[in-house]
């Protein structure tokens, strides 16, 4: 059960998009894995080649932030899927199915259902209203400098929490999969991220995501096919052998366990996942890379299909691991079946790769798992750099008077600064339990960015004061509740009992943000508020039709 | 975009047609996906045993598994349904509105 909980915590923690394995506590460094390192080096050289190619195509600010709007819907769909499918999904989700069966499938569903909602309600409006950042949309008809500053701070907060988790995850993965020291990973990831983004901008970042998504899908699918050669080509057969291998505890794999038994926890977690996802700056940014609303819709359709397929494959792989890995003493510490898995609870999928495809397949999957982190941090760095350069510098400080060349220079400096800060924080947080940071990132995204975004798009009545009050209320509430939750109050601060019993605050903090934004906007009788409500018509025409939307630049 | 374009678009009956049709369609689909998902979560929370029933005589898999698969695949198919109508009917309407606004 403990193993189940760790895997669940990792996953909930790592929530979906892209967090890495083993973020709770320390891991043991494994023997050096030469094949994995070799394959990873090949990946790095290949992606650096793409970055060099992309750098020749990155001239304007639009090229840098959004690839000039020249990414097709299908390409963007793969890149979104790449942003969302991570080492954590591969390792954590399969580990959860391995340890508790059906609960893993339930988690996967929760991670998935946000995508259709983004498609129906947000995708095309994001494309029609946005230019480079989500602050462009939030401040469309509201006070430019106040709302832009607030939205940029919201984005940076999320990016920062998320980056720390990625860095710590990278450090632990490299110990587990490559057998190299933690700090190597942190420095390597930081430096590569700076190179990808400063030289290749969004074009390189997009292609790194696409390649990574392809490799991850290939690896997962191949693993499932190999497992089926061994267990038979039916899910029923895989399940039967899994239940038999588990013995007396086998039937428990077939129904819900304890993980989502409490409805308040389940709902709060899933609200955070569904709507936090829609408020992640590096995900929102992806919608500005396509030329129009039609392609934006197409990209969500492709992404949703790929993500759904991948989740189902990974879950089934986890089920297959039960009868293959779970009955093979070579994967257990001291060769003791049913004891601790070598490398920890997140390793079933890696052991399965070794059992089915030998060292070469294990090396391949390890390299892919590590490469996923690189792709995600590149996206995060770009989102952070655009918040600093486009929103804070060009929008607020220079008030629109900065030249494009100057804004580009600031964004590159910002990228380097973000990379350095990420390396520093990655080392500072070594061996820390950072699971709470994911709760924070998603809590803030769902309770600050998302309410402001949704209301500014859909509700005429939203005013600057309402947006700021609602966003700040959501921010304070989300942070406070996470601090008082078991993840921080008990596990980090060492108190016996949490003051707030749930790790994920979205049910309360997101609701509060909406209510406060609504009430304050309603009470706002200022002349500015009137003007902002009146400006909704023009915004609405653009949101619905795309007239005046930032278009694609020629390439 | 000038105010006159905004006014022109807003006074075009096709604009209100697009707006109301798309809103109804999108919110209905979103309500279906979220409604199905959260109803399912309530079953998980309050009647977990009901999901452990076997698919049929002699099966090991419980009905919970195909339900999850149906939710995921079904939600994806709904996005397909949306894109079909949005990239067809709604795009045509949008194109008309845009070209009429430029006259």
pLDDT digits (tens, 9 = 90+) for B79-99: 999 999 999 999 999 999 988
Cα–Cα distance measured from residue A257 to residue A264, given in angstroms and rounded to the nearest whole number:
16
For chain A, the domain total comes to 1
Residue A398 CA to residue A407 CA, distance in Å, equals 10
Orientation of helix A404-428 relative to helix A182-231, angle to 10°: 80
3-state secondary structure of A423: helix
For residue B71, give both structure tokens: 């939710």
Please tell me which residue, A187 or A345, carries the higher pLDDT value. A187
Rounded Cα–Cα distance for residues A265 and A249 (Å):
25
pLDDT at A9 over 70: no
On whether the CB atoms of residues A20 and A368 are closer than 8 A, the answer is: no
List C-alpha distances in Å: A340 to A88, A258, A331, A354, A513.
20, 21, 9, 17, 44
Task: Report how far residue A250's alpha carbon sits from residue A452's, in angstroms, rounded to the nearest whole number.
Answer: 47
Q: Which among B31, B39, B44 is the top mutation candidate for probing chain A, defined by the most A β-carbons within 10 Å of its own β-carbon?
A: B44
- Range name among A119-128, A254-263, A487-496, B43-52 with the lowest pLDDT average: A254-263
Which of B3, B64, B78 is closest, CB to CB, to A116?
A: B78
* This prediction's pTM: 0.90
* Contact predicate A358/A65, CB 8 Å: no
Residue in B38, B52, B73 closest to A254 by CB: B52
- Return all residues near A329 (Cβ < 8 A) that are at least 6 apart: A335, A336, A337
Q: Which residues contact A11 (CB under 8 A, 6 or more apart)?
A: A88, A92, A93, A95, A96, A107
* DSSP-derived secondary structure letter, A387: I
Check residue A203 and give its pLDDT: 92
State the Cα–Cα distance between residues A375 and A82, nearest whole angstrom.
8
Block residue for tokens 């430029």 = B102
DSSP secondary structure letter of residue A364 = H
Q: Is A308 on the interface with B (CB under 8 A)?
A: yes
Structure confidence by residue, pLDDT tens digits, B40-72: 988 988 888 899 999 988 899 999 999 999 999
Cα–Cα distance, B58 to A180 (Å, whole number): 49
Q: Give the integer Cα–Cα distance in Å for A44 and A546.
A: 38
Q: Is the pLDDT of residue A13 over 50?
A: no
Distance CA A12, CA A221 (A): 24
Q: Give domain status of residue A488, yes or no.
A: no
The CA-based diameter of chain A, rounded to the nearest angstrom, is: 74
Query: How far A464 CA lies from chain B's nearest CA (Å)?
Result: 22
Instruction: Say yes or no for a CB contact (<8 Å) between A255 and B49.
Output: yes
How many angstroms separate the CA of residue A112 from the nearest CA in chain B? 7
Nearest C-alpha of chain A: how many angstroms from B103? 14
Please count the helices (runs of H) and the strands (runs of E) in chain B: 4, 0
pLDDT band at A551 (very low <50, low <70, confident <90, very high): low
How far off is chain A from B86, nearest CA to CA, in Å? Answer: 8
* Whether A115 and B101 lie within 8 Å, measured CB to CB: no
In a domain, A508, yes or no: no
Look at residues A365, A351, A291, A343 and name the one whose alpha carbon lies nearest to residue A322: A351
Which chain B residues are within 8 Å of A256, Cβ to Cβ?
A: 44, 48, 51-52, 64
Whether residue A33 is predicted with pLDDT greater than 70 in this model: the reply is yes
Instruction: Specify whether the CB–CB gap between A313 and A87 falls below 8 A.
Output: no
The answer as to whether A80 is a domain residue is yes
Residue of A nearest to B42 (CA): A263
Which candidate, A229, A162, A241, places its Cα nearest to that of A445? A162
Is the CB of B59 less than 8 angstroms away from the CB of A544?
A: no
**What is the total count of domains within chain B?**
1
Query: What is the Cα–Cα distance from A299 to A286, expressed in whole angstroms?
Result: 9
Give yes or no for A247 touching B (CB within 8 A). no
C-beta atoms of A312 and B72 within 8 A: yes
Report the range out of A264-273, A429-438, A460-469 with the highest average pLDDT. Answer: A460-469
Taken in order A426, A414, A468, A463, is the CA torsion positive or negative? negative
CB contact under 8 A, A308 and B18: no
Q: What is the DSSP letter of A484?
A: H
Distance between CA atoms of A358 and A226, rounded to whole angstroms? 11
Res. A6: pLDDT tops 80? no
Q: What CA–CA distance (Å, rounded) separates A16 from A162? A: 11
Domain membership of residue A427 (yes or no) is: yes
Give the bridge partners for B54, in sequence order: B62
Q: Residues 508-527, chain A: which have Cβ within 8 Å of B?
A: none
Q: Do the beta carbons of residue A166 and residue A377 sit within 8 Å?
A: yes
| A residues 98..117 contacting B (CB < 8 A) | 102, 105-106, 108-110, 112-113, 115-117
Q: pLDDT tens digits, residue range A482-535? A: 899 888 888 888 888 889 988 889 999 999 999 999 999 999 989 999 999 999
- Least trusted range by pLDDT, from A222-231, A261-270, A275-284: A261-270
Which range marks the domain in which residue B20 is found? 3-102
Percent of the residues in chain A that have a pLDDT greater than 90, as a whole number: 49
**How many Cβ atoms from other residues are within 10 Å of residue A424's Cβ?**
13
Residue A555: pLDDT above 50? no
The answer to whether position A517 is within a domain reads no
Does A32 score more than 60 pLDDT? yes
Please give the interface size between A and B, counted as residue pairs whose CB atoms are below 8 Å apart: 159
A128, A113, A353: which is closest to A230 by C-alpha? A353
- Name the closest residue on chain B to residue A304, using Cα atoms: B76
| Per-residue pLDDT at A3 | 44
Give burial (CB, 10 Å; 0-12/13-18/19+) of A174: buried
d(CA A360, CA A192): 25
Q: Is residue A350 part of a domain?
A: yes
DSSP A227-271: HHHHH-S-HHHHHHHHHHHHGGGGGGGGS--STT-SHHHHHHHHH
d(CA A371, CA A77): 19
Compute the mean pLDDT over every residue in chain A, rounded to the nearest whole number. Answer: 87
Q: Rounded to the nearest 10 degrees, how much is the dihedral formed by the CA atoms of A234, A237, A241, A243?
A: 100
Q: What is the pLDDT of residues A381-428, one digit of tens each?
A: 999 999 999 999 988 998 888 888 899 999 999 999 999 999 999 998
Q: Does B71 touch chain A (CB under 8 A)?
A: yes
- Tell me, yes or no, whether A371 lies in a domain: yes
Higher-pLDDT residue of A481 and A439 is A481
Spatial CB neighbours of B56, under 8 Å, sequence gap ≥ 6: none
Other Cβ atoms within 10 Å of A251 Cβ, number: 14
Minimum-distance CB partner of B60 among A108, A109, A236? A236
Q: Which of B40, B71, B82 sits opposite A119 (nearest CB)?
A: B82
A15 band by pLDDT with thresholds 50, 70 and 90: very low
| Gap between the Cα atoms of A198 and A416, Å rounded | 8
Domain range spanning residue A149?
2-433
In a domain, A130, yes or no: yes
Q: Compute the nearest-CA separation of A254 from chain B (Å).
A: 6
Of all residues in chain B, the one with the smallest CA distance to A298 is B83
Give the H or E element holding residue A272. Answer: helix A263-278
Token pair for residue A142? Answer: 């509201």
> B69 contacts in A (CB within 8 Å)?
312
**Does any CB of chain A come closer than 8 Å to the CB of residue B75?**
yes
Q: Which two tokens stand for residue A177?
A: 């999969």
Set of chain A residues whose Cβ sits within 8 Å of the Cβ of B80: 301
A314-370 pLDDT, tens digit each: 999 999 999 999 999 999 988 888 788 888 888 899 999 999 998 899 989 988 888
Model pLDDT, residue B2:
61
User: Helix, strand, coil: what percent of chain A each, to 5?
Assistant: 75, 0, 20
Are B10 and A541 within 8 A, CB to CB? yes
Tell me the per-residue pLDDT of A42-90, one tens digit each, with 9 for 90 and over: 999 999 999 999 998 888 888 899 998 889 999 999 999 998 887 778 8
CA distance A291 to A540: 19
Q: How far, CA to CA in Å, does A210 sit from each of A84, A375, B28, B58?
A: 11, 9, 32, 43
């Amino acid at each position: 059960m403990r193993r189940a909980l760790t895997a669940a915590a990792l996953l909930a923690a790592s929530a979906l998009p892209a967090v890495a394995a083993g973020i709770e506590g320390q891991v043991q460094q494994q023997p050096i894995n030469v094949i994995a390192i070799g394959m990873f080096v090949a990946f790095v050289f290949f992606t650096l080649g793409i970055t060099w190619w992309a750098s020749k195509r990155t001239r304007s600010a639009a090229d840098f932030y959004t690839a000039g709007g020249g990414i097709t819907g299908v390409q963007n769909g793969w890149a979104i899927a790449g942003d969302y499918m991570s080492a954590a999904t591969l390792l954590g989700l399969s580990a959860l199915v391995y340890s508790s069966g059906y609960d893993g499938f339930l988690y996967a569903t929760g991670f998935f259902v946000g995508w259709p909602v983004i498609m129906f309600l947000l995708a095309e409006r994001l494309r029609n209203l946005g230019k480079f950042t989500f602050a462009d949309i939030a401040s469309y008809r509201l006070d430019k400098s106040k709302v832009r500053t607030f939205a940029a701070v919201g984005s940076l907060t999320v990016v920062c929490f998320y980056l720390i988790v990625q860095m710590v995850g990278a450090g632990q993965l490299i110990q587990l999969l490559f057998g190299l020291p933690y700090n190597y990973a942190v420095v390597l990831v930081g430096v590569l991220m700076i190179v990808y983004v400063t030289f290749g901008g969004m074009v390189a970042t997009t292609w790194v995501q696409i390649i990574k998504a392809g490799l991850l899908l290939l690896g997962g699918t191949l693993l499932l096919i190999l497992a089926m050669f061994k267990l038979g080509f039916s899910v029923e057969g895989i399940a039967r052998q899994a239940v038999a291998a588990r013995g007396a505890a086998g039937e428990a794999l077939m129904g819900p366990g304890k993980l989502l038994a409490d409805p308040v926890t389940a709902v709060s977690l899933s609200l955070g996942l569904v709507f936090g996802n829609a408020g992640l700056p590096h995900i929102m940014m992806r919608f500005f890379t396509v030329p129009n609303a039609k392609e934006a819709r197409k990209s969500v359709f492709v992404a949703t299909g790929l993500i759904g397929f991948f989740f189902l494959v990974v879950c089934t792989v986890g089920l297959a691991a039960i009868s293959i890995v779970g009955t093979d003493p070579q994967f257990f510490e001291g060769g003791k079946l049913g004891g601790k898995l070598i490398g920890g609870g997140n390793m079933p999928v890696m052991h399965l790769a070794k059992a089915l495809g030998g060292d070469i397949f294990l090396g391949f999957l390890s390299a892919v798992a590590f490469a996923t982190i690189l792709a995600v941090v590149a996206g995060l760095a770009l989102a952070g750099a655009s918040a600093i350069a486009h929103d804070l510098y060009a929008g607020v400080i220079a008030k629109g008077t900065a030249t494009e060349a100057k804004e580009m220079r600031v964004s590159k400096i910002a990228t380097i600064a973000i990379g350095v800060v990420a390396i520093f924080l990655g080392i500072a947080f070594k061996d820390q339990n950072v699971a709470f940071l994911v709760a924070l990132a998603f809590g803030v995204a769902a309770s600050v960015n998302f309410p402001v975004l949704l209301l500014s798009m859909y509700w005429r009545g939203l005013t600057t004061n309402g947006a700021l009050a609602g966003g700040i209320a959501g921010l304070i509430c989300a942070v406070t509740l996470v601090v008082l939750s078991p993840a921080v109050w008990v596990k980090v601060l060492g108190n016996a009992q949490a003051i707030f019993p749930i790790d994920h605050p979205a049910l309360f903090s997101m609701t509060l943000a909406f209510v406060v934004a609504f009430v304050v906007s309603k009470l706002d009788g200022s002349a500015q508020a009137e003007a902002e409500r009146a400006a909704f018509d023009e915004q609405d025409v653009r949101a619905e039709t795309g007239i005046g939307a930032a278009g694609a630049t020629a390439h | 975009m000038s105010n006159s374009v905004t006014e022109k678009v807003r006074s075009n009956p096709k604009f209100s047609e697009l707006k109301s049709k798309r809103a109804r369609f999108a919110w209905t689909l979103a309500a279906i996906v979220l409604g199905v998902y959260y109803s399912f979560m309530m079953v998980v929370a309050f009647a977990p045993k009901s999901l452990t029933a076997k698919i049929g005589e002699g099966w090991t898999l419980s009905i919970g598994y195909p339900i999850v698969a149906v939710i995921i695949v079904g939600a994806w198919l709904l996005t397909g349904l949306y894109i079909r109508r949005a990239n067809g009917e709604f795009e045509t309407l949008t194109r008309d509105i845009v070209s009429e606004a430029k006259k």
